[in-house]
Amino acid sequence: MDLYLANLHLTVSLTVELHTKQGQCGQVDQDLGWWVRIALDGWAERPGPRYRRVAAAVADAVEHGLAGAGDRLPAERPLADALAVSRGTVVRSFDELVAAGVVERRQGAGSFVRGRVSWTHTPAENSAAALLRRRMVDDRETIDLSLSVPAGVDHLPAVPDLTIADLAAVGNHGLHPAGLPELRAALADHLTRRLGLPTTEDQLIITSGAQHALTLVAGAVVSPGRAVLTGCPTYPGLAGALAGRGGRLVAVPADELGIDANAAHRAAAHLPAPVIYVDSSAHTPLGAVLSAARRNALLHTARRFDALIVEDLTQAGLCLDPTADPVVPLAAAKPGTARDSDGVIAIGSLSKMFWAGLRIGWLRAPAALRGHLLRLRSASDLAPSVPAQLLALRLLGAVDEAWLTDLLCALRARRDLLLDLLARHLPAWRTTRPSAGLSLWATLPVADSETYAHLAARYGVLVAPGATSCVDGRHHAGIRLSIAEAPHTLASAVDRLAAAWEEHARDLAAARA
- Residue type present at position 476: H
C-alpha distances (whole Å) from 12 to each of 16, 25, 36, 37 are: 6, 20, 17, 14
Mapping DSSP to helix (H, G, I), strand (E, B) and coil, where does residue 258 land? strand
pLDDT score at 126: 54
285 plus 364 within the same structural domain:
yes
410 plus 484 within the same structural domain:
yes
394 plus 302 within the same structural domain:
yes
Residue 213's closest CA among 362, 357, 350? 362
Strands of 214-329, DSSP E = 227-232, 248-255, 258-259, 275-278, 308-312
User: How many CB atoms sit inside 10 A of residue 505's CB?
Assistant: 15
Residue 112's closest CA among 64, 153, 75? 75
CB 72 within 8 A of CB 111: yes
Rounded to whole angstroms, how far apart are CA atoms 486 and 489?
5
| CATH number of the domain within which 90 lies | 1.10.10.10
Domain range spanning residue 501? Answer: 128-152+402-512
347 plus 483 within the same structural domain:
no
Beta-carbon contacts of residue 202 (< 8 Å; ≥ 6 apart): 184
Mapping DSSP to helix (H, G, I), strand (E, B) and coil, where does residue 366 land? coil
315 plus 447 within the same structural domain:
no
| CATH number of the domain within which 407 lies | 3.90.1150.10
413 plus 498 within the same structural domain:
yes
For helices 87-99 and 50-63, the axis angle rounded to 10 degrees is 50
* Domain total of the chain: 3
In a domain, residue 176? The reply is: yes
In a domain, residue 36? The reply is: yes
Rounded to whole angstroms, how far apart are CA atoms 490 and 163?
36
In a domain, residue 498? The reply is: yes
Dihedral sign computed on CA atoms, order 41, 43, 44, 46: positive
- Structural domain ending residue among the three candidates 398, 430, 449: 398
pLDDT score at 138: 53
| CATH number of the domain within which 327 lies | 3.40.640.10
DSSP 243: T
In a domain, residue 496? The reply is: yes
In a domain, residue 53? The reply is: yes
- Structural domain ending residue among the three candidates 345, 380, 398: 398
In a domain, residue 202? The reply is: yes
390 plus 431 within the same structural domain:
no
In a domain, residue 273? The reply is: yes
- Structural domain ending residue among the three candidates 398, 422, 442: 398
Beta-carbon contacts of residue 24 (< 8 Å; ≥ 6 apart): none
For Cα atoms 61, 64, 68, give the angle at the middle one, nearest 5 degrees: 65
pLDDT score at 14: 39
294 plus 437 within the same structural domain:
no
In a domain, residue 160? The reply is: no
pLDDT truncated to tens, each residue of the chain (513 aa)?
443 334 434 333 433 344 444 444 334 344 788 888 888 888 888 777 888 889 888 887 887 777 888 889 999 999 999 999 999 899 988 988 887 778 888 888 889 988 644 333 333 445 555 555 555 555 668 899 999 999 889 999 999 999 999 889 898 888 999 999 999 999 999 999 999 999 999 999 999 999 999 999 999 999 888 999 999 999 999 988 988 888 889 999 999 999 999 999 999 999 999 999 999 999 999 999 999 999 999 999 999 999 999 999 999 999 999 888 888 899 998 554 444 446 899 999 999 999 999 999 999 999 989 999 999 999 988 999 999 999 999 999 999 999 999 999 999 999 999 999 999 999 999 999 999 999 999 999 998 898 999 999 999 999 999 988 988 778 889 999 999 999 999 999 999 999 999 999 988 888 776
Residue 228's closest CA among 249, 259, 205? 249
- Residue type present at position 42: G
Rounded to whole angstroms, how far apart are CA atoms 243 and 473?
19
